[in-house]
Amino acid sequence: MKTLEVPSFIIGNNSFWIFRWINNTKGFSIEFNWISFVTVIFTLLLLSLLTNMLRRRQ
């Protein structure tokens, strides 16, 4: 049976990443950076609230 091999990838860059999948000779690892994820969600929430407030003022 042939296994599916997923290449290593990262969502974000090396200093600010959210999700990382690493393949190596020992197997694979999945890492999730909660601090980056919460920061992105919080920023998007603030932008959404600000745009809604600005629309209501016009």
Mean pLDDT of 28-48: 91
pLDDT tens for 2-20 read: 666 667 778 887 778 888 8
Query: Beta 9-12 vs 17-24: how paired, if at all?
Result: antiparallel
Mean pLDDT of 45-58: 93
Position 15 scores a pLDDT of 77
Percent of the chain whose predicted confidence (pLDDT) is above 90: 33
The pair of three-digit structure tokens given for residue 19, joined into one six-digit string: 């999700």
Q: Give the residue from 23, 1, 2 showing the smallest Cα distance to 10.
A: 23
Mean pLDDT of 40-55: 95
Residue 10's DSSP bridge partners are 20
Q: Give the residue from 20, 19, 23, 29 showing the smallest Cα distance to 6.
A: 23
